[in-house]
């Protein structure tokens, strides 16, 4: 099947569950895209380490003693263990399995018992490089060390964020929530790219945001969505603002206390994704207010999960050849489908 990269033709249902599509996506999309790892504050000091997954690929970002950011593959060159599993501060990176030890730049420094092997040389082993970049106080990683710089791809998005009057630059360490969801990653992205489902599925959210005034705008590499606070809802703070960055990152600010909320959708299997929510608040926001805010968004998320899992099962059943989009409300799904087709369409034949 030959596909026009600019086509907005919807994706076949099979593309949401076929393992060969998933494998091509890993290689051609997640192996070459910038993905959000966390906030720059999390790797501000020498020795700070932040592990992350770009799809199936474990990655690591470190700040070395010279102050440089290093991105690398977080897979030991010995027999493949992940080296750093939790954010933390280290002088060296020691693999927890047999103790091979790397510098913060990813070069192997020592391996136990290596003197017994005259053919072994630490110089022959280093963790493959990835790119890491700070952008608007956030930390992005790209497994492809030759990929174009992030700032060029995002262009005016930085200015658009600044205009929201939300403290993007004050992001410190987030409160993290992770959800494992039995659904293909594209179903989760689609769920955040349309609010057609909001009045029925999210009554509390729809009571706060005016869906009739919901708007969206596409750029080549990102999409902006927004909705004003509904008159008389009692909500405070800024209006809803969401930026989707291809392929799996969302940056949001929600009504309520000054906040930044990010979502990253990590595809771990054709039918399984990990959804990472990071919530950032200004220091002066009281804990009780933070808790109340998190509870509200936990409920919204719990409303979405069973529906996304249900869509996955329905599409995998083979009974619907392709989704029927309700335009213009679901226009952005067409944008996503065009990007996916453009990335993998010439390789996959169904
Ligand atoms: S797998 Fe890392 S030291 Fe053995
Ligand atoms: Fe939803």
Per-residue pLDDT band for 47 (boundaries 50, 70, 90) equals very high
What is the model's pLDDT at position 254? 86
* Average pLDDT in the chain: 91
Instruction: Please give the Cα distance from 118 to 109 (Å, whole number).
Output: 16
Q: Is the CB of residue 84 below 6 angstroms from any atom belonging to ligand 1? A: no
Which residues partner with 38 through β-bridges? Answer: 139
Alpha-carbon separation of residue 196 from 7, 191, 193, 212, 262 (angstroms)? 23, 9, 9, 10, 21
Q: In ligand 1, which atom is closest to the CA atom of 98?
A: 3
Ligand nearest to the CA of 102: 1
What is the model's pLDDT at position 1? 33
What is the b/e burial string over 71-83, where b = at least 16 CB atoms within 10 angstroms of the residue's CB? bbbbbbbeeeebb
What is the model's pLDDT at position 346? 78
Q: Which two tokens stand for residue 316?
A: 């995998």
How confident is the model over 44-73, as a mean pLDDT?
96
pLDDT tens for each residue of 244-276? 999 999 999 888 888 899 999 999 999 999 999
- Ligand 1 centroid to Cα of residue 48, in Å, is 21
Per-residue pLDDT band for 214 (boundaries 50, 70, 90) equals confident
Phi, psi of 200 (to 5 degrees): -80, -40
What is the model's pLDDT at position 305? 96
pTM (two decimals): 0.92
Per-residue pLDDT band for 228 (boundaries 50, 70, 90) equals confident
- Ligand 1 centroid to Cα of residue 14, in Å, is 38
- Ligand 2 centroid to Cα of residue 49, in Å, is 33
Q: Residue 117 CB: number of other CB atoms within 10 A? A: 9
How confident is the model over 296-310, as a mean pLDDT?
94
pLDDT above 70 coverage of the chain, percent: 97
What is the model's pLDDT at position 258? 82
Q: Which residue has the CA at smallest separation from atom 4 of ligand 1?
A: 98
Which residues partner with 223 through β-bridges? Answer: 218, 244
Per-residue pLDDT band for 110 (boundaries 50, 70, 90) equals very high
- Ligand 1 centroid to Cα of residue 107, in Å, is 14
């Amino acid at each position: 099947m030959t596909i026009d990269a600019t086509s907005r033709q919807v994706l076949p249902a099979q593309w949401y569950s076929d393992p060969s599509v998933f494998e091509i996506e890993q290689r051609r999309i997640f192996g070459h895209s910038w993905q959000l790892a966390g906030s720059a504050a999390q790797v501000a000091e020498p020795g700070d380490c932040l592990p992350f997954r770009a799809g199936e690929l474990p990655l690591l970002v470190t700040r070395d003693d010279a102050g440089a950011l290093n991105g690398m593959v977080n897979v030991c060159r010995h027999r493949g263990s992940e080296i750093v599993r939790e954010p933390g501060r280290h002088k060296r990176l020691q693999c927890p399995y047999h103790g091979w030890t790397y510098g913060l730049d990813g070069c192997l420094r020592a391996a136990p018992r290596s003197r017994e092997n005259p053919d072994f040389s630490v110089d022959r082993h280093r963790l493959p490089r990835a790119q890491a970049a700070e952008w608007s106080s956030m930390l992005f990683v790209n497994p492809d060390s030759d990929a174009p710089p992030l700032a060029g791809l995002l262009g005016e998005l930085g200015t658009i964020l600044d205009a929201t009057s939300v403290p993007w630059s004050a992001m410190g360490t987030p409160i993290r929530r992770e959800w494992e969801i039995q659904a293909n990653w594209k179903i989760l992205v689609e769920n955040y790219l349309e609010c057609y489902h909001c009045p029925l599925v999210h009554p509390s959210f729809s009571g706060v945001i005016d869906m009739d005034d919901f708007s969206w705008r596409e750029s080549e590499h990102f999409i902006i969505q927004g909705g004003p606070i509904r008159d008389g809802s009692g909500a405070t703070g800024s209006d809803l603002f969401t930026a989707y960055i291809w392929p799996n990152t969302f940056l949001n600010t929600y009504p309520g206390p000054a906040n930044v909320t990010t979502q990253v959708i990590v595809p771990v299997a054709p039918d399984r994704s990990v959804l990472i929510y990071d919530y950032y608040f200004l220091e002066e926001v009281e804990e009780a207010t933070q808790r109340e805010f998190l509870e509200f968004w936990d409920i919204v998320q719990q409303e979405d999960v069973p529906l996304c899992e249900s869509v996955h099962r329905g599409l995998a059943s083979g009974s619907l050849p392709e989704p029927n989009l309700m335009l213009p409300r679901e226009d952005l799904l067409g944008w996503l489908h065009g990007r996916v087709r453009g990335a993998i369409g010439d390789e996959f034949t169904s």
